[in-house]
Amino acid sequence: MSQRHYIPLLLIFIAFNSVAQEDPVTSSAIVIDGLINPARDIEDIRLGTPRELKVIAPTLAQQELDRAVLNRLMQEIASSPELTQRRLGVNENQLQNIFITLSNARGFINDSEMANIRAMCRAWDRSELTGDDRIKEALGAYSRRQQLTLNFIEKYYGVVRSDIDSFLAEESQLLFAAYMDDRRRRMANAGATSSGAIVQNLGSGTDTVRFHCHD
């Protein structure tokens, strides 16, 4: 390569390398100007108000965790009875009693989701408000009706746990309590979802109201 061609190429390389070492936000804004401007977007985030979270599926409420854990325990007993028996420190007869207790509890509980929806739509139909205020009123009616069910579920499964404790030895009670605490924490951290309607906020709940209710 001749000296004449080598110098321009060297200057181009130096210039390119200098741009690459600039502040990432600044250089990116220059390179892709007209498409995406990171510097402007960051400033918009600083000055703007936080956008409301769009909920895809409601997570389990605190009151639902015991039921979810005990339903999972019933599945574990059915699929891996020997492992579950060792984990809880119970004999075969006690394991069977736990399974029967949980089966009965599962069949007894009704989430009353349709009752929640009806309460929401009644509030919507009767409301004298308009716009977002009317939607908020309907969502509030759903949440209040749902809370009644959640409170019942929590109390009922507290009784179920006490019933299981009543026929366990002291050591097994400790193992059972440890199992419940561990599984409850895991489900809460994993963000397990609920089967209820999406009413967590105005943005998510508006679609629910429009789908179920009408003028």
Q: What predicted TM-score, i.e. pTM, was given to this entire model?
A: 0.68
Residue 19 confidence (pLDDT) above 50: no
Distances (CA, A) of 168 to 15, 102, 164, 188: 77, 15, 7, 26
pLDDT tens across 149-158, in order? Answer: 899 999 999 9
Within a 10 A sphere around the Cβ of 39, how many other Cβ atoms? 13
pLDDT tens across 165-185, in order? Answer: 999 999 999 999 999 999 999
Q: Which of 139, 138, 124 is nearest to 198 (CA)?
A: 139
Residue 63 confidence (pLDDT) above 70: yes
Residue with the two structure tokens 């509980």: 109
Report d(CA 18, CA 27) in Å as an integer: 10
Report d(CA 181, CA 162) in Å as an integer: 15
Provide the β-strand partners of residue 193: 59
Q: What is the mean pLDDT of residues 186-193?
A: 85
Residue 66 confidence (pLDDT) above 70: yes
